[in-house]
Structure formats: C-alpha cells, structure tokens
C-alpha cells in the first residue's frame, strides 16, 4: 500500500476551463501554459491559415474548425505547485464528454466574453459544476475590446448563476479607452505597451486613475462581498478577474489565484462513502478514453484521475469492470504537447494508461477492488442515425471502430434485435461529423449516415419476467447497447410515456450509471 505524501497532494491543482465557444478558452489555455513555462511557442489562434495551430487543439476536425473537440490534459509546474489543466470540449455538442471531464477536476475557471456576458453553454457547464459543488474563479475576457459595463456583467453573473461575486480587479476603461487593469490587492495597474497594446510586464504602482473610473472602482471595492475562501470552496462565491488572454492581461493573476485559493485534491464519492486523498490505497477512476492519440501508433489511452495513494510505475491495479489486476508498465504524464512516462503520481494527477480496450469510461481502478466511484453517467442520445457502409466487406472493421468510439464516449452504439444495421446515438450534431471523419481517417472505413426511425432511447430495467414479456411484443423497437443491456428505441417522446404507463413494472431510464 502506498500512502499519498500529503505535502505533494497539497501542491496539486487539478482544474478545467469552462466557456461558451469563442469566449477565448483556447487562447487562455495557451497563455496559461506559456506563463507556466509548459510551451515555448503560443500558436497564434487567430491566424487560421497558419501551420502553427493552437497547440492544445490537435485533431484534424479541431484544426479545420478552430474548436476543442477532445478533452486532453496538460500539466505544468510553477513555484512549487503542479497544475493539471483539463481541456474540456468547448463546443455545445460535446456536453457528455465535457460532463465527464468535470467529474475529474477540483475547481474550474469560467471564461466570459466581456461583450456577451453569460451565454447558454457557459450556463449549462456551470450547472454541471454546481451539481458537484466545484468552486469557480471567473475570468472576464476581451476587455481590450468594447464590452458591456462592468457592473452589468457582475450583476448578471450574480443573478443568473445565483452566486456571490467578489471582484478582485477592475478594467480601467474598455475597448478604445482601455488603459490597463487595476489589481485590488496590490493597488497596481497593469499597463498596455507598444502598438499592439499588449501587457509586457509594466505595472504602475502609484497610478493616477481617470476621474471617470475612480468612483466606479471605489463602488466595486465596497459594493460587493469581500473574498471569502470558505464560501468560494463551497461553490457559493466566485472571485472575478478581468483581462485579455490574447494581450496577456490577467493571465498571471489567474494562475496565482488558482495556486492560492483553488482547493488541493478533494475527496471523491464512492456510493455512500467519500474517498479521501490521504487514504493508503491507490485508487482512481477513468473519465475518458482516447483512441489513436498518436497517429504513428494505434494506441488507446485511458485517462485516470488519481484519487488517493502514491502510484508507482509497474503497480498492479484492478479495474472494476474486469475483476483481474493489470500491471501498469508505461503510465503517461502529459506536459502540453509532450508525453513522459510517469514513475510516480499523486492524488489529483491525471495519468494516461495505454491499453487495448480493457479500460472503459467509468471504471474504478484500485489495489483491493472493493471501491466503486460513482457519478459518471451516460445520457440518452438526442440524435439517432443508421450507419450505411459504402463497402459491405468492411462490416467487421466497422463494428470494431464503433465499439472503440463508443468506449471513448464519442458516440453510443446500439445493435437492433431485428435488422442488421447498427444505430449510433449522439448528444449533438457535431459528434456525427467527428464520427464520419474518424472512421475514414483512423479506421479506413467509408460510411454514411441515414435517418433512423427512432427519436430517442431509454435503458430498460425491471425483473426478468417483465423484461421477457416486454421483449416478446416489442422486439422491433429493442436494441442492445455495447454492454449488452436492453434499450427501448422510441419513435417519439410520446412513445416513451405510453410504454411507461402500459408497463409500470419497468423503468425507462434516460441515464445509465457507468
């Protein structure tokens, strides 16, 4: 048994950035990595045509669209603190993958566009954080452009998210009037320099503030609650920082706020008990599986969030789905674009475990195999399509590819009880494009999608007799998921409620715990 070193555990910060597409999350990710020294060249995100892509978006479809689709992890160290930044898919169609990533973090940064305020996707992701009481630091981005009045933004965060807001900084003007950012703690103003008006390190420690802003700044300092660490860590209060990721304003302050305030690894739920990071035994859970991360090697990597214990390379851990221990010989730590083999890992770390399909999303890994981490659900798909193979001789490759991609959580796959065509289910439209492009690029399978007669799916639960009876009369509307569980394929929501009324002994569930 390997007990976690509590000093090391205290120095871990595992966090994600949540935002609406286009609020500047990819740019902020880059700048955090740059400031943290993890990458030496920030891919200029704006130059879409340039070969220097944003370094955190590495899949082809991301490069074409300039969005983050896969959630990866980037680790960097600064001033004795190890930061594990989990990149969440920024596109609205990836709520399921994003949801799972948010189960693996201890805190989050919420990025808001100064001109747009809180947008629907930010709100959705925020609700996920709230479910798990994940503490949030807010970063209002793009203040070097014209934006909405500061108080309007602060009040919108407070009202829409029912959170106390505590501003920690204030933009001295926005857009054309932008003169820098005042830090409330130090009283210094970070000033723009040069023709590009970037922040290059110039701080004014005795600033003359234009009268126009002086009164507002005073009001912001006294009119909102003071920062309270306990309220923040309970998820009731958010400190608010202002800046421009593109022009380097506010990035250092953000890293320092995470180091200073964000919680170290938190206990994780396993049924009725909470597993503390200080527990002797090494435990963790798989929140993501990614196939073909390295195009040169057809590898699959399971991302494990370590919850407790000190992991040592070569250790044997038992996955809950398997029952027999596996040796982990080449676990990977991710330093931005590079990967390194990990000799040790502590609670809060994310390690990549190469495997050939033995590890799946939702699996718990542990030394004794007597714990199950809970709270990683599958969601009922909102779009269902039939897969049409262009070359019928590739049926076997297609089945393998669909199994792989469903294991990753990109799609769900259903095998109808009658009829041969596989049905894929997704939460959002973009996943279908990702599916077709990855089938072709990674599995050399050319396929198309056609309409399916079904609108949604529900997992069926109940005693065997009731299930058999139901199956006898509804075979044409039944399928199995990749675990072999029975799924009712409904033609409409009305269909679901009708069957529920007719079969009170069965549960028709829209989520399935992994």
DSSP notation for 138-160: EEEE-TTS----HHHHHHHHHHH
| Pairing label, strands 412-416, 423-426 | antiparallel
pLDDT band at 231 (very low <50, low <70, confident <90, very high): very high
- In three-state secondary structure terms, 302 is strand
Binding-site residues for GTP sit at: 19-26, 87-91, 141-144
Burial group, residue 60, by CB count within 10 angstroms (0-12, 13-18, 19+): middle
Q: How many residues does the chain have?
A: 514
107: pLDDT strictly greater than 90 = yes
Binding-site residues sit at: 19-26, 87-91, 141-144
- Cα 442 to chain centroid distance, Å, stands at 23
In 20-97, beta strands by DSSP E: 73-78, 81-86
Same domain, 144 and 251: yes
189: pLDDT strictly greater than 90 = yes
**Helix or strand holding residue 471 (H, E):** helix 464-474
Residue 358 falls within a domain, yes or no? Answer: yes
Total count of domains within the chain: 3
- Dihedral-angle region of residue 322 (phi above 0 means left; psi in -120 to 50 means alpha; beta otherwise): alpha
Domain coverage including residue 434: 377-513
351: pLDDT strictly greater than 80 = yes
**Helix or strand holding residue 372 (H, E):** none
Same domain, 51 and 185: yes
Report the candidate in 178, 201, 175 with the shortest Cα–Cα distance to residue 190.
Answer: 201
Q: Which residues touch 504 (CB under 8 Å, ≥6 apart)?
A: none
Comparison of pLDDT for 282 and 71, the residue scoring more: 282
Same domain, 443 and 505: yes
**Rounded distance, CA 6 to CA 4, Å?**
6
Same domain, 336 and 362: yes
Residue 340 falls within a domain, yes or no? Answer: yes
Report the candidate in 75, 70, 134 with the shortest Cα–Cα distance to residue 103.
Answer: 134
pLDDT at 242: 96
Residue 496 falls within a domain, yes or no? Answer: yes
Q: Which of 88-102, 250-264, 316-330, 342-356 is predicted least confidently?
A: 88-102
Q: Which residues touch 8 (CB under 8 Å, ≥6 apart)?
A: 346
Same domain, 291 and 256: no
438: pLDDT strictly greater than 90 = no
Same domain, 487 and 345: no
Residue with tokens 């920082």: 241
Dihedral angle, C-alpha 94, 99, 105, 107, nearest 10 °: 90
**Domain termination site, one of 263, 293, 317:** 263
66: pLDDT strictly greater than 60 = no
pLDDT at 50: 34
């Amino acid at each position: 048994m390997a007990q976690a070193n509590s000093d090391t555990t205290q120095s871990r910060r595992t966090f994600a950035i949540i935002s609406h597409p286009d609020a500047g999350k990819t740019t902020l990710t880059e700048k955090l990595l740059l400031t943290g020294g993890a990458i030496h060249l920030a891919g200029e995100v704006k130059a879409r045509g340039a070969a220097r892509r944003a370094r955190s978006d590495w899949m082809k479809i991301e490069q074409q669209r300039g969005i983050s689709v896969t959630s990866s992890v980037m680790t960097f160290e600064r001033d004795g603190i190890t930061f594990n930044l989990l990149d969440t898919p920024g596109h609205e169609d990836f709520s399921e993958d994003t949801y799972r990533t948010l189960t693996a973090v201890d805190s989050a940064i919420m990025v808001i566009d100064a001109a747009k305020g809180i947008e629907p996707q930010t709100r959705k992701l925020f609700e996920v954080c709230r479910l798990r009481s994940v503490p949030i630091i807010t970063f209002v981005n793009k203040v070097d452009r014209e934006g909405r009045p500061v108080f309007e933004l602060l009040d919108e965060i407070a009202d829409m998210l029912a959170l106390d807001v505590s501003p920690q900084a204030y933009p001295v003007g926005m857009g054309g009037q932008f003169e820098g950012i005042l830090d409330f703690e130090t009283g210094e103003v970070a000033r723009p320099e040069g023709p590009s008006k970037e922040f290059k390190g110039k701080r004014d420690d005795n600033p003359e503030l234009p009268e126009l802003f002086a009164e507002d700044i005073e009001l912001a300092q006294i009119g909102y609650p003071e920062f309270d660490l306990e309220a923040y860590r309970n998820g009731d209060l958010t400190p608010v920082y202002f800046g421009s990721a593109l022009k380097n304003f506010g990035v250092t302050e953000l890293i320092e706020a995470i180091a200073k305030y964000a919680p170290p690894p938190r206990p994780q739920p396993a049924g009725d008990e909470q597993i503390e990071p200080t527990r002797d035994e090494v435990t963790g859970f798989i929140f993501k599986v990614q196939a073909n991360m390295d195009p040169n090697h057809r590898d699959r990597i399971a991302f494990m969030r370590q919850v407790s214990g000190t992991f040592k390379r070569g250790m044997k851990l038992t996955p809950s789905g398997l029952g027999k221990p596996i040796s982990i010989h080449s676990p990977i730590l991710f330093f931005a674009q590079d990967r390194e083999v990990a000799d040790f890992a502590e609670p809060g770390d994310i390690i990549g475990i190469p495997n050939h399909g033995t590890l799946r999303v939702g699996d718990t890994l542990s030394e004794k195999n007597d714990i199950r981490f809970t709270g990683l659900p599958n969601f009922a798909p909102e779009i269902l399509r039939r897969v049409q193979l262009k070359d019928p001789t590739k049926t076997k490759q297609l089945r393998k590819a669909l199994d792989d991609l469903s294991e990753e959580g990109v799609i769900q796959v259903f095998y109808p009880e009658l009829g041969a065509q596989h049905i894929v289910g997704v939460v959002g439209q973009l996943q279908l494009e990702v599916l077709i492009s990855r089938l072709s690029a990674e599995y050399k399978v050319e396929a198309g999608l056609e309409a399916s007669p079904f609108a949604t799916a529900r997992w069926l639960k109940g005693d065997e007799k009731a299930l058999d009876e139901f199956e006898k009369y509804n075979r044409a509307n039944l399928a199995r998921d990749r675990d072999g569980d029975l799924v009712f394929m409904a033609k409409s929501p009305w269909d679901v409620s009708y069957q529920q009324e007719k079969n009170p002994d069965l549960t028709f569930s829209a989520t399935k715990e992994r």
